[in-house]
């Protein structure tokens, strides 16, 4: 069984540029999460989807971040424009059901903003 | 907001020694999960505890959930170099709530 797939694995951009991350969850998992992990810290939830619906986006900086999950499968997280402080690892995770189920994480995208 | 703290932040042990990390939440949890993240890797689910006072074992790993459901611990007996990584606890305050990760404990094991 394939795991959570993310691309790209690494991205280096200059500040004020846009960037997008893509995630393909495990087949059959209807809950998808985007996390941001800063160096030496635990993952912090940005947004959670139940199928196509964003049920928790309270931690998503909506002035520059946007996300979508069309057709309830793949998801894209976008930052426009990027700031130096956005440098982090962006992790996508999926689970079979709601948040109380174990989450399966993808390898992450390491973003460096210069 | 909910805060989940772990101690110690870092521990260095020699192979064969025991290791324990403690997790404390500012609020009562409905359940707690533990994840392991190897250097350069992503978090991998280890276990979930739901009941007050619950104890679960996985080979050399023992997980406990406190009676008040506000704290938890992970104990590793006779560490091995394969145990190297950062261990995170993560808690839910409700069945549909978000998972709040702890600050993590980084374990280094040397021969």
Alpha-carbon gap: B111 to the closest alpha carbon of chain A (Å) = 24
User: pLDDT exceeding 70 applies to what percent of chain A?
Assistant: 97
- What angle is formed at CA A31 by the lines to CA B98 and CA B24, rounded to 5 degrees? 25
For residue B60, name the pLDDT band (cuts at 50, 70, 90). Answer: very high
Contacts of A55 in chain B (CB under 8 A): 96
Maximum alpha-carbon separation in chain A:
38
* B42 to A45: CB separation less than 8 angstroms, yes or no: no
Alpha-carbon gap: B97 to the closest alpha carbon of chain A (Å) = 7
Interval B37-62 mean pLDDT: 97
Q: Which residues contact A55 (CB under 8 A, 6 or more apart)?
A: A48, A49, B96
Q: Judge whether B23 and B71 are in contact, CB under 8 Å.
A: yes
Work out the mean pLDDT of chain A and round it to a whole number: 94
pLDDT at B95: 60
Alpha-carbon gap: B70 to the closest alpha carbon of chain A (Å) = 16
pLDDT tens per residue, range B72-107: 999 999 999 999 999 999 998 876 678 899 999 999
pLDDT at B97: 74
Contacts of B40 in chain A (CB under 8 A): none
pLDDT at B1: 74
Contacts of A107 in chain B (CB under 8 A): 41-42
Report which of B60, B26, B61, B37 is spatially closest to residue B47, judged by C-alpha positions.
B61
Is the pLDDT at A71 greater than 90? The verdict is no
User: A67-96 burial, b if ≥16 CB within 10 A, otherwise e?
Assistant: bebeeebebebebeebeeebbbbbbbbbbe
Nearest to B98 among A40, A42, A99 (CB): A99
Work out the mean pLDDT of chain B and round it to a whole number: 95
Residue of chain A minimizing CA distance to B97: A99
Alpha-carbon gap: B94 to the closest alpha carbon of chain A (Å) = 8
Q: Judge whether B30 and A100 are in contact, CB under 8 Å.
A: yes
Residues of A with CB under 8 A from a CB of B: 40-45, 48, 55-56, 91, 93, 98-100, 102-108
For residue A23, name the pLDDT band (cuts at 50, 70, 90). Answer: very high
Q: What distances in angstroms separate CA B81 from CA A40, A107, A114, B44, B47, one per listed residue?
A: 20, 22, 36, 17, 21
Least reliable range by pLDDT among A70-74, A91-95, A103-107: A70-74
pLDDT at A101: 85
Sign for the pseudo-dihedral over CA of A108, A21, B96, A50 = negative
Is the pLDDT at B11 greater than 90? The verdict is yes
């Amino acid at each position: 069984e394939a795991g959570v797939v993310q691309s790209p694995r690494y991205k280096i951009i200059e500040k004020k540029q846009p960037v997008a991350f893509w995630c393909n969850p495990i087949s059959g998992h209807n809950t998808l999460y985007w996390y941001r992990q800063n160096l030496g810290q635990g993952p912090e939830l940005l947004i959670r989807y139940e199928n196509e619906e964003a049920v928790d986006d309270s931690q998503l900086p909506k002035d520059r971040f946007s996300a979508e999950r069309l057709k309830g499968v793949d998801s894209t997280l976008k930052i426009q424009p990027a700031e130096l402080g956005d440098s982090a690892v962006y992790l996508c995770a999926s689970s079979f059901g709601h948040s109380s189920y174990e989450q399966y994480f993808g390898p992450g995208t390491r973003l460096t903003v210069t | 907001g909910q805060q989940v703290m772990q101690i110690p932040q870092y521990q260095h042990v020699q192979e064969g020694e025991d290791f324990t990390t403690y997790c404390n939440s500012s609020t009562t949890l409905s359940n707690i999960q533990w994840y392991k993240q190897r250097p350069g890797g992503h978090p991998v689910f280890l276990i979930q505890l739901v009941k007050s006072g619950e104890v679960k074992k996985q080979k050399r790993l023992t997980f406990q959930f406190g009676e008040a459901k506000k704290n938890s611990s992970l104990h590793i007996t006779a560490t091995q170099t394969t145990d190297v990584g950062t261990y995170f606890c993560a808690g839910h305050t409700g069945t549909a709530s978000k998972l709040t990760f702890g600050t993590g404990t980084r374990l280094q094991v040397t021969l």
